[in-house]
Amino acid sequence: MKQQEFGECPKCGSANVQQLDEKSWFCLDCDWDNLSAITNGNDELLASLRYGNIHSRRIAAQSLINIGDDERHLASPSDTEALLEALDDEDADVRYFVAVALGKLAAKLSLNKLKQLAQNDTSALVRQGAQTAIEQIESFSD
């Protein structure tokens, strides 16, 4: 069976598409709002982020982008430790989404690690996400 490849999102036409695994794709522009709400707190989400397979870690990390969404109430500042650990994930997508999430949380404790990622990560996407997070955190400090 031939794997389907997307040069652009079939829903919105964006070229900002990420492959999650052999059968799953995620549009960085239109799929954010389609992530399901987590209704039983953060424990399962954080457990997936820490201990899940690559697919579940990516989904958990992507869900964290919705921090601040009043209907989803996903992560809180008390989750910062788990998020900091995830910045060391082997998967660049996980590191990117977690960096962006930390920026939305204005997690000052993550600044040193984010600055390291912004300078040294092998993935341009992670470097960009870390830089955005740094800017968000520093803007909250002003």
pLDDT tens profile 29-64: 666 555 544 344 567 778 888 888 888 888 888 877
Number of C-beta neighbours around residue 84 at 10 A:
17
Domains of the chain (ranges plus CATH)? Answer: 1-34 (no CATH), 36-141 (1.25.10.10)
CA-to-CA distance for 66 and 60, rounded, in angstroms? Answer: 11
pLDDT of 2 > 70? The answer is: no
pLDDT tens profile 56-113: 888 888 877 765 554 544 566 777 888 999 999 999 999 999 998 898 888 899 999 9
pTM for the full predicted model? 0.67
Instruction: Supply the pLDDT for residue 49.
Output: 87
E-strand spans in 3-117? 17-19, 25-27
Tokens 């960009």 correspond to 128
Give SS3 for 85: helix
